[in-house]
Structure 1
Amino acid sequence: MNREETISHQEMADLARLRSQTYGFLGSLYIQRPDPAFVGRLTDGAMISLLNSMTCGEASGEIASGLELVKRYLTRIREMPAQEIETELAVERTRLLRGIKPGYGPPPAYESVYAGSDEQPLMQTSVAVARAYAEAGVGLPEEVRDQPDFIGFELDFLRHLTDKEARAWACGDRGEAFKLLEKERAFLDEHAAGWIPRFCDLMFQDAKLDFYRGVARLTKAFVTDEVRRLVDLQNWARAARAA
């Protein structure tokens, strides 16, 4: 392997690793219920440090807007009791993600709902998502009583794929890395990118807390950027194959 290939593989590994960390971070904000540990991360400065590291300290557009909203919320809660923070986040999370009743928040955050409707979810969509997980050798833990097409699980699946991609690049396995890029693109095109931005628009409109308004902006912007990014990466991969 020559020096140019080594540098290229390392750069691709670093990019895939950063993308994986971002998917994992965003997914965790939807999956994890606000608890003392979650609140602790918000109030000890770790959240801001993580956000800044994911954007290398530079951001624009909806990413910048989302970061500013989250930071504004973190500034507001600095002197609040932890229990109050936990309660207000838990109430807001349930209202925004679970579709408790019409008019109380957006339709619940499941792809099957946005492929169909709140009254008639398109359940074959949920089956297709579960099949994609199984084909990649992953699935929901047995103790999880939820549908596989929940927004947090789809983001976490993309974390899994991009993490595997990073490992493939790091090992110099270009063929495996190319296959994983194809799987990422397919899952975004067939599933995540088709509904998550639309849900995030509704979540942003309905959210009362700047924290979740910011999370909605960040999620939409990142998923939308990923679609464009993967087109570029696959074009690069095709050129690399032909070289």
Structure 2
Amino acid sequence: MDKERLASWLHEREFIYSLLACLYKASPATQLLKTLSANRLLTSLVEDYDSMATPEQFAVYSAVQQLQDELDLGLKNPADYQKLLQADFNRLFVGPGHLAAPPWESVYRSRERLIFGEQTLAVREFYRSFGLETKKRRSEPDDHISLELEFMACLCKQAAKPDISTEKLNLYMSGQTRFLSGHILEWAPALCDDIRKAAESNFFRGLALLTKQWLKADAADTEMIASDLIV
């Protein structure tokens, strides 16, 4: 892959990771919902799945189409639809009470299923190895799904800099493959399964299926490209 195509691929992934991070950080505001609807940002990620797709890919395609249909219809009464999504978001990720899909890596990867566990510290150290720290590290676990996705977006952005050295490019690309395999893919698929099972809206069901499938495909692509870059 030449430098221009690589940069374009990295910028596209930066945008997708940033978008997913935003959708898992907080229930989307009405303006974001309108942007998603008008530009079909989520359905564009699965537009190739309706023809020569595997059964798994077609299931994702169908779920995201249902997400889009619900979104378009919901925006006829945007205030009510935003409230519906906020309630679903709170029940899944925030509380009060039992969370149907706790958004922290340590909950999924520790026996005690507690936040601020061993994995939280491991993720924090991974961020620090690239000179990054979360702004609310004392009050918000570093291994929240939105923060891990933001970190991936940051690594993509750094790797896409036009004047980057080969050494730095390899560093940022290997960082992406290691963080995907050692952290995100170790728990995010299970999180997405829990969201899909518990969500009451097509929006979050579709988002969960899309996230799981896209992460799987992106990890394979990233590993292949990163291995080709190593000199």
TM range (shorter): 0.7 to 0.9
Match of 2:20 among 16, 19, 26: 26
What is the CA–CA distance in structure 1 between the aligned matches of 2:35 and 2:178, rounded to whole Å?
38
State the SS of the aligned residue for 1:109.
coil
Q: Report the CA distance shift for 1:63/1:233 in structure 2 as closer, same or farther (over 3 A).
A: farther
Equivalent pair of 1:107/1:118 in contact (CA under 8 Å) = no
Equivalent pair of 1:17/1:166 in contact (CA under 8 Å) = yes
Q: Report the CA distance shift for 1:114/1:44 in structure 2 as closer, same or farther (over 3 A).
A: closer
1:58 paired with 2:48, answer: yes
1:209 paired with 2:206, answer: no
What is the CA–CA distance in structure 1 between the aligned matches of 2:38 and 2:133, rounded to whole Å?
28
Partner in structure 1 of residue 72 of structure 2: 75
Q: Deviations over 1:184-231 (max 9, x none)?
A: 111111111100011101100111100001110111111111221122
Q: Report the CA distance shift for 1:92/1:182 in structure 2 as closer, same or farther (over 3 A).
A: same
What is the CA–CA distance in structure 2 between the aligned matches of 1:90 and 1:186, rounded to whole Å?
33
Equivalent pair of 1:63/1:218 in contact (CA under 8 Å) = yes
Measured after TM superposition, the shift of residue 143 of structure 1 is 9.0
Measured after TM superposition, the shift of residue 49 of structure 1 is 3.8
Aligned pairs for 1:79-118 within 5 A: 79-80=76-77, 82-98=78-94, 100-102=96-98, 105-117=99-111
Match of 2:175 among 171, 174, 183: 183
Measured after TM superposition, the shift of residue 88 of structure 1 is 1.1
What is the CA–CA distance in structure 2 between the aligned matches of 1:121 and 1:141, rounded to whole Å?
17
What is the CA–CA distance in structure 2 between the aligned matches of 1:153 and 1:211, rounded to whole Å?
21
What is the CA–CA distance in structure 2 between the aligned matches of 1:39 and 1:210, rounded to whole Å?
16
For 2:118, the aligned partner's letter is Q
What is the CA–CA distance in structure 2 between the aligned matches of 1:230 and 1:129, rounded to whole Å?
20
What is the CA–CA distance in structure 2 between the aligned matches of 1:172 and 1:50, rounded to whole Å?
29
1:40 paired with 2:2, answer: no
Between Structure 1 and Structure 2, how many residues are aligned?
224
What is the CA–CA distance in structure 2 between the aligned matches of 1:63 and 1:17, rounded to whole Å?
24
TM-score, structure 1 normalization:
0.82
Point out 4+ residue stretches in structure 1 off by more than 2 angstroms. Answer: 43-55, 57-60, 62-67, 98-102, 117-122, 142-145, 170-175
Equivalent pair of 1:30/1:152 in contact (CA under 8 Å) = yes
What is the CA–CA distance in structure 2 between the aligned matches of 1:115 and 1:165, rounded to whole Å?
29
Q: Report the CA distance shift for 1:128/1:41 in structure 2 as closer, same or farther (over 3 A).
A: same
Greater C-alpha radius of gyration: 1
State the SS of the aligned residue for 2:224.
helix
Equivalent pair of 1:41/1:47 in contact (CA under 8 Å) = no
Which runs of no fewer than 5 residues in structure 2 stay unpaired?
A: none
Match of 1:134 among 124, 128, 134: 128
Equivalent pair of 1:69/1:214 in contact (CA under 8 Å) = yes
Q: Report the CA distance shift for 1:184/1:66 in structure 2 as closer, same or farther (over 3 A).
A: farther
For 2:82, the aligned partner's letter is E
Aligned pairs for 1:144-155 within 5 A: 145-155=139-149
What is the CA–CA distance in structure 1 between the aligned matches of 2:134 and 2:196, rounded to whole Å?
27
What is the CA–CA distance in structure 2 between the aligned matches of 1:107 and 1:33, rounded to whole Å?
14
